[in-house]
A and B are shown apart, each in its own frame.
Chain A
Amino acid sequence: MSADDTSGVIEYPTEEISLSINGEEVSAEVEPRHKLSDFLRDARGLRGVRVGCEHGVCGACTVLMDGRAVKSCLTYAVQADGTEIETVEGLADDGALHPIQESFHEEHALQCGFCTSGFVMATKELLDENPDPDDDDIETGLADNVCRCTGYQNIYDAVHRAADRLETGETDADETHAGEDDA
């Protein structure tokens, strides 16, 4: 039953990485086997990065690496050396929700929320590349993410709304329904 408490004795090899996370320059020692998702969550405290399957199907861990959506559970932290990482924590601007976040809220495109950061980041990549996606574009853009609670209809609506908001430059504060949202 018992084992000697030898905590700290073991030494695993590490490598130094330097990267930008949500605009902040970061250097860290990481084990080569550590996943980017674990590094972001455990070493950087970015718990908006969710881990749902660790084999690349669910997409809950999606972050942007140099602007492209990657599954951080299938990426080693050492592979992120020299890149720019964006997570959901970097979206809200001084407390005001990003138009994508606001649109997911308004369209009730989340329930338990475990998949939500992944969907939001995948949506960001989609809209960065294609500001006016049609339903087929959305289907293709979000096919790597799974939502188990909400279904997908409200997510389509949220992406369309976000595209409209980004086009018109409408922000959280401009939103006429904001009072109701503050419930």
Chain B
Amino acid sequence: MSSRPDAETGPESDPDAETGDEARFAGRGLNRVEDRRILTGEAEYVHDEAPDDALHMALVRSMHAHADIESIDTEAAENHPGCHLVLTAEDVKADYNPMPTGLHGFEEWSLADGKARYVGEPVAAVVADDRYVAEDVVDLVSVEYETREAVVDPREARENEVVVHEDVGTNVGDHEELSFGDPEEAFEEADNVIESSYSWGRISGVPLETAGVVADYDRDADAFDIDCNIQLHTLVDDTVYETLGYDPDDVNLEVPPDVGGSFGTKIALHRYCSLAAMASKAVDRPVAFVEDRIENLQGGDMHSTQREYDVKLAVDDDGTFRGLDFWFVDDFGAWPRYPVNQVLKPLSVLTNAYDVQDARYEYDLVLTNKTCQTAYRGFGVPAHLYALEMVVDEAAAELEMDPDELRRRNLVESDQMPYELPSKNVYDSGDFPAALAHVQEKIEDERDGGLLDPETVAEKREEGKYRGARPTVHIEPGVSGSDWTNRQRSDRDELDERDREDVAELPEHLRAEIREDGTVRAYLATDSSGQGHQTLVTQLLADELGVLPSDVDVSYLDSVEAPTEYGTAASRMAVMLSGAAQGLGETLAANLETLAAEVWDCDEADVTYRDGGVHRVDADGSLSLAELADADDDGDLTRASYDYEHPATRLEEFDEALARKFPVYPTAAFAANAPIVEVDANTGEVEILKLYSLRDCGTQLNPTIVEGQAHGGLAQGVGAALQEEFGYDDSGQPQAITLFDYRLPSIENVPEMELDHTETPSPFTATGAKGTGEGGMIDGPASIACSINAALEPLGVKADRIPFTPNRVRERIREREGE
């Protein structure tokens, strides 16, 4: 492992080198303000928050994938001296509502009602003195099941021989076929049609911190305080208050400042919130719940994308891509989980970095007897890019073209920017060919005496070790809008007639006040889980107000105080928070000028805000922030809030996509990757020897954080490509319920990375930032799979099933050997 190759972006570097502006903190690799409390053990995660008088909840979970619940005997449990409560679906249904689901027509209760549909589905909840006792009590709840055959394979599920929801009548919860341009003509006229199938295994984020809740019912106010590490707490709070049947103002959902990772997976924690709240109301005490790791892995509603693809590429003999055709089955598990809808996001990068205008996109969203699917970093895009890059590799092989040349020939050129995709999303800016050329050069260098030196490659091959690298380019769509995400609950026929004016997007809210000591306190309306939002807001507000970052501190708003907004998802925060901080800073500065003019009884034109205070233009005199705070009797002018509008709302380019509810992602961060892999044909093991990447997320607001996000994302990409998977047996029993089976990448699995960065500022955003939170996981797996294809070309083996685990590699090699 070499020292960090990107010293220019690290904390050691000259912080002003990139901006050339000594006064500014944005753009600098400022170390994080969050770190100290974490490093000293003072951080407070939700697992730490149970008050002394809290009782503890544990859940009775189904051990069957598909079974009728014949009876539940709670008597022995209730007789346990440490038990305070046992809840079943019967109790929940008497007083509360079903949980909102992601598609119409499903009625899901917080506890399984009459039938269990996946292993780990909560069937009863118990509350006891502590978690140890609660688990004793769980063992005393006796549930009688009548087991049924389970449906596990997503392609088979479409045949409805076993139906997960009889009242719905089909396992195909949703289906859509979308056509853009004229794909039929493209496929008819093209010289060649390449067609193949690919699988993307069931993976997820698996944050180190499991879900946790502390719910406290206030009998006097008839209201709830719920602390939970849920993600998007101001957006998805409806899943909790609707389930409880309370007004939004009476369900105060709060996320602690420190959350131990989420990556999208914690959006769907509403069941835990609701059950803990119901339990708290029943026992009149605070109730805490901490999910354990086995619960998290088997039935925590936290799995993510699982897909089966049939992909076609229409391509002319000269390598010109004419059309693309995606058909896939997405396995949602037992229930369509609100608010997750990741089959559509790939439309925002339908053709990846390639210039193709004719495409078809069709999916079946199926239900099976598996745990429910939630969001995960990239939200359905990683699988799409993987399937697309695989078929491009097959085309290169079939046309006997150099894959690098084939890719290069079809990339969108920088002078085509902004580039409208057939699916109506728009890429803002970027130079994809230059990015590809950069990593190609790195690989060429490695062929000259490096890891890919022909002599070394030949020697290794003698030992059965196959090396290869294949550069690729990938788009990371950033800054999700909100309107499209309920497309699947909308009447599709009405979408054609929809007006642009019918679309409302969610802004990002930020507020701040100047305190009497002259410091600034800002309040985030979103939650965060390690991305450094406090640092980002601190450095941007310091810039806007001309103060030091140490004069700014940042705290959080709960779901009642904060307006409904989208929050932390889809790489939104760099763009949305920076826009909000800039707008808020300007608003506050203007307010303070008004205030100073009042103090001095002069014209506002005669004062100006700069360097952390207001100065008189026409005479001597200045007022510091502390003096201004002191002068502001009613506090109106030293407090301000700002809502940064979603960039697409003011850009005509996105009108059609918005009106038709196609995914709108107004920024196109991108990366060119070239992992060098070595596949051991004897063991099937894939080792990544080194990973080159050129990354561009527009303006880098904090290069240290940008770099950290890239490292972390790529590490997850390595896991997804090679080792992570939630397998199931034919009866629906999950095969990965510990971290021994669900193999997170360790320090031994993640390769040395050499990352370079360019900056193509977005013309669509306030600060030029594009967001960078999902990269790595979006682009890692596809690029690793392409390099595996390059390495295994001599053996005729393709990386057609992600993750490409050693047993699968061996299986594929044996199949070829048998031919």
Contacts and interface: CB of A to CB of B under 8 A. Distances in A.
Interface residues of A, number: 72
Contact of A111 (B36, B47, B708, B714): B708
Interface string B522-561: 0000000111100100110010000011100000000000
A101 B39 contact: yes
Given A52-B209, A60-B208, A152-B750, A1 B261 contact: no
Interface string B739-764: 11000111110101100000000000
Interface SS, B side:
loop
A110 interface: yes
Contact of A52 (B84, B293, B752, B753): B293
Among B88, B283, B529, B711: residue with most chain A CB under 10 A: B711
A58 interface: yes
Contact of A148 (B31, B91, B744): B744
A147 B282 CA distance: 39
Contacts of A48: 40-43
A7 B711 contact: no
A75 interface: no
B243 interface: no
Given A54-B292, A183-B535, A1 B31 contact: no
Nearest to B753: A153
B708 A47 contact: no
Nearest to B702: A108
Interface string A45-61: 01111111111011010
Contact of A55 (B129, B535, B740, B745): B740
A47 B91 CA distance: 35
Contact of A108 (B28, B132, B282, B708): B708
A112 interface: yes
A143 B748 contact: yes
B735 interface: no
B45 interface: yes
A180 interface: yes
Contacts of A101: 39-40
Contacts, number: 240
B142 to A, nearest CB: 15
B755 to A, nearest CB: 9
Interface string B263-284: 1000000000000000000110
Contacts of A105: 31-32, 35-36, 39
Contacts of A135: 1
B7 to A, nearest CB: 11
B39 A57 contact: no
B23 interface: no
A116 interface: yes
Interface in B30-73: 30-36, 38-45, 47-48
Nearest to A7: B129
B78 interface: yes
A153 to B, nearest CB: 5
B752 A153 contact: yes
A110 B209 CA distance: 14
A142 interface: yes
Interface of A: 1-10, 31, 33-34, 41, 46-55, 57-58, 60, 87-89, 91-92, 97, 101, 104-108, 110-117, 120, 135, 138-139, 142-143, 145-157, 160, 177, 180-183
Given A9-B82, A105-B35, 11 more contacts: A3-B86, A4-B78, A6-B81, A7-B129, A50-B208, A53-B738, A55-B294, A92-B39, A111-B708, A154-B708, A180-B11
6 smallest A-B Cβ distances: which pairs? Answer: A48-B41, A112-B530, A114-B260, A113-B38, A151-B711, A183-B549
